[in-house]
Chains A and B, each alone.
Chain A
Amino acid sequence: MIVNRRPLTFWEKLYLPAIMGGLKVTMRHAWRTLFAGKKVTMEYPEQKWAVPPDYRGAPYLVRDQDGSTKCVSCQLCEFVCPPKAIKIIPPGPAGQIADRANAEKMPREFEINMLRCIYCGMCQEVCPEEAIFLLKDYSITGQSRQELVFNKEKLLALGGVHPGIQKWKHKAEEAKEQENFPVKV
């Protein structure tokens, strides 16, 4: 497609009106910052930015209100993660059983490489257990690459508690109630 350029009008050809217009904006900002006391810069890192509520920071693992690990190591986040930052080692047949009744499994190890993470939030979106959330941390720094591979323990500590509906607990309770049914297996 060819777009024909409109020839400049006489006023535009003068250039000076446009320059004056631009200077007007510059002067307005100069006035505001220099004399009206409206600063637009911050003394980072002493001063920190107020993070907006829907901000996507670093992804961490969370615990439920009973303090149990929510993650069941379904590995959907590992699958969906575009930069392959997540690595999960499932428990295997002889692994530790889950903190909660009925949930049957939880990860043996869960690593997020924060150098790889692009904060896209796909892991949070795909998680069927609401176990991983992008929280507000944005300035993740470290002395070595290894230090920035966060393991399960660290992720759980950083993530804190996030109450939820506790579906596995309810399933276990429901099953327990049904034990009194006339039918015994």
Chain B
Amino acid sequence: MSTPVTTETKPAPPVEKIKVKVDGREIEVPRTTPDPISGKPIPTTMIQACALINVDVPHYCYHPKLPVAGNCRMCLVEFGTPALGPDRKPILNQDGTPKIAKSPRPAIACATPISPGMEIYTNTPAVKQMREGVLEFLLINHPLDCPICDQAGECKLQEYSVDYGQSASRFVEPKVHKPKAVDLGPRIVLDDERCILCTRCIRFTKDIVGDDALGIVNRGSYNTLTAYPGKVFDNNYTLNTVDICPVGALTSKDFRFKMRVWFLKETKSVCTSCATGCNIIIGSREEKVYRYEPRQNDAVNACWMCDSGRLNYKWIGREDRLKDVQRQKEKSIWNAALNEISHKLKSAPVGSVAIIASARQANEELWLLSKLKAKFSALSDSVPRMAEGDKLLLNADRNPNTNGARLTGICFTEMGSTIPQIASGISSGKIKTLIVFGEDVTKHGLGPDLLGKLETLIVSDILPNATTRLAHYLLPGCAHAEKRGTFTNAKGRVQKFMKAVEPPGDARPEWEFLHELVFNVTGQDGFVTIEGLFNEMAKEVPAFKGLTWAGLGDSGATVPI
């Protein structure tokens, strides 16, 4: 693992700006930009200048988060620089503008630094012809098996062929055939025929992950991407190469032949597998989640996410999801169960209630639980989930919302330290009601014998476990993909997640029924929408002061932790 990819927004030191013209539009561009790997200032390139004003320069090997390779030649543009006289002064036109000496040859926009007064031309007839030529060469040995290729629909070769390519091939010779469906690693399939040798995957795994596993062997038309002999490509970030592969050479084994990408509804969300909170896009169709993909957020995860987080979605659609409200182990309905719970809680004396929340719940839900906690001066805690982290993205804390639980007052800095106190409270008979959200407390010091002593055990969860089987009231909750809300990540970044699919059966978002419960028990009414709840929470919880649901945007906001 070489360098951390996240760059928390720091005020960058002022960089000298220079003026260049892109397709006749004059813009000011910083002379240097930070290198994506080392962060050191390096000269700004033409493609970066074009990107500043959204001029699209087609490219395959260039990726803003990877070192420049300059091998695909797709980003060729024409350019000119101010002509200098023998006195090293710019020659002026008759109207006083500097005379531009157009370069006789094109240059690759991804690796050519800009200079003051430079003019870049991205759509001249020559540039168009060059793009046609490059595409024709790339397609010479491309198998054109789009009907069976998982990349079809999000393939840059398809897109650029339509936008910039020729309609027909002039190549009549047999194509070079290379290995197909190569097992590159536990999660990756490689189709060498489709590879356009852009080396993005090689640079990613070498420079970002620090695992120099991939390389190109053989010469000319027989150039072939392979893993180092005897080595499997199995680091925890391999699936990012599938995302950055512009064609269908690297495809995911997990997503292989599962669904065509154009059917997938894309929902902005946040990964819940660790406290990093990588921004993701959930691809779903007909209420089924098919895949997670990273979503760019330079303050959190850049363009990447780890494989373990990416593949941790299958539990959402599990058959044994809790679908029914249960009262004393019998099927019930929401109104009846909530009314009974409210009735019982209303008459519960102060100190007789304890709450075990989950740091996998959203901020809003934890905040609503903290209102119940305040009403009964209840003991409350959550369950820590620590494992080994890495330097890139994976956090040692596997709870997505540990900081949310802390900031809303559900637990203290040392998560899980109150659980023994709750256990002794139950065994002494002082605590008669326990509210458990999303955790199997039998594994964390509150065994079935202790839970049996309770008068009321209210449990909300997503999947069945030992605690849900003992519950007096069981309230089926939602996965993060089935509701909206916010998480606070390890660095204190508050991030929204959106609803991708409908919850199964009678399951409801926790914040919905918690809001009802809080109203019934404490009489505090509030907003019945997630936006309103968040804004109210931001007013009441000091750490979230000044935040609004709308103000969070897609990339979130950092709060002090």
Q: Per DSSP, are chain B's interface residues mostly helix, strand or loop, or mixed?
A: loop
B181 close to A175 (CB less than 8 A): no
B259 close to A185 (CB less than 8 A): no
A93 close to B218 (CB less than 8 A): no
State whether A128 and B147 are in contact (beta carbons under 8 Å apart), knowing that A174-B174, A185-B224 are contacts in the complex: yes
Q: Does A122 interact with chain B (Cβ within 8 Å)?
A: no
Q: Does A144 interact with chain B (Cβ within 8 Å)?
A: no
Bound-complex Cα distance A9 to B143 (A): 73
Question: Interface range on chain A: under 10, 10 to 19, 20 to 34, or 35 or more?
Answer: 20 to 34
Question: CB-nearest residue of chain B relative to A87?
Answer: B286
Question: Interface range on chain B: under 10, 10 to 19, 20 to 34, or 35 or more?
Answer: 20 to 34
**Complex interface: stretch among B48-56, B58-66, B249-257, B337-345:** B249-257
State whether A92 and B146 are in contact (beta carbons under 8 Å apart), knowing that A79-B263, A174-B177 are contacts in the complex: no
Interface string of B247-277 (1 = CB under 8 A from A): 0000001111111101100000000000000
Bound-complex Cα distance A128 to B309 (A): 36
A171 close to B143 (CB less than 8 A): yes
Q: Does A73 interact with chain B (Cβ within 8 Å)?
A: yes
Interface string of B143-172 (1 = CB under 8 A from A): 101111000100000000000000000000
B148 close to A104 (CB less than 8 A): yes
Chain A residues within an 8 Å CB radius of B217: 185
Bound-complex Cα distance A135 to B222 (A): 44
**In the complex, what's the smallest C-beta–C-beta distance from A25 to chain B, in angstroms?**
52
Bound-complex Cα distance A177 to B258 (A): 32
A90 close to B222 (CB less than 8 A): no
Q: Does B175 interact with chain A (Cβ within 8 Å)?
A: yes
**In the complex, what's the smallest C-beta–C-beta distance from A100 to chain B, in angstroms?**
11
Q: Does A129 interact with chain B (Cβ within 8 Å)?
A: yes
Q: Does B180 interact with chain A (Cβ within 8 Å)?
A: yes
Give the residues from 167 to 213 in chain B that come closer than 8 angstroms, CB to CB, to chain A: 174-181, 192
Interface string of A60-87 (1 = CB under 8 A from B): 0000000000001111101100000000
Q: Does B226 interact with chain A (Cβ within 8 Å)?
A: yes
Chain B residues within an 8 Å CB radius of A57: none
B257 close to A90 (CB less than 8 A): yes
Give the residues from 154 to 185 in chain A that come closer than 8 angstroms, CB to CB, to chain B: 171, 174-175, 177-178, 181, 183, 185
State whether A72 and B148 are in contact (beta carbons under 8 Å apart), knowing that A79-B262, A92-B256, A185-B224 are contacts in the complex: yes
Q: Does A103 interact with chain B (Cβ within 8 Å)?
A: yes
**In the complex, what's the smallest C-beta–C-beta distance from B174 to chain A, in angstroms?**
5
Chain A residues within an 8 Å CB radius of B145: 102, 104, 171
A93 close to B178 (CB less than 8 A): no
Chain A residues within an 8 Å CB radius of B181: 104
Bound-complex Cα distance A183 to B152 (A): 30
Question: CB-nearest residue of chain B relative to A79?
Answer: B262
Q: Specify which of A73, A79, A105, A175 is in contact with B177 (CB 8 Å cutoff).
A: A175
* Residue of B148, B192, B259 ringed by the most chain A CB atoms within 10 A: B148
B260 close to A95 (CB less than 8 A): no
Chain A residues within an 8 Å CB radius of B257: 73, 90-93, 95, 104-105
Bound-complex Cα distance A90 to B180 (A): 20
**In the complex, what's the smallest C-beta–C-beta distance from A86 to chain B, in angstroms?**
12
Given A74-B148, A79-B260, A185-B178, list of 11 further CB < 8 A pairs? A72-B147, A74-B152, A75-B263, A76-B147, A79-B262, A90-B257, A93-B256, A102-B145, A105-B148, A128-B146, A185-B224
The residues of A with any CB-CB pair to B shorter than 8 Å are 72-76, 78-79, 90-93, 95, 102-105, 128-129, 171, 174-175, 177-178, 181, 183, 185
21 A-B residue pairs with Cβ-Cβ distance under 8 Å, sorted by A, are: A74-B146, A74-B148, A76-B147, A79-B262, A79-B263, A90-B257, A90-B260, A92-B257, A93-B255, A95-B257, A104-B145, A104-B148, A171-B177, A174-B177, A178-B177, A181-B222, A183-B222, A185-B192, A185-B217, A185-B218, A185-B224
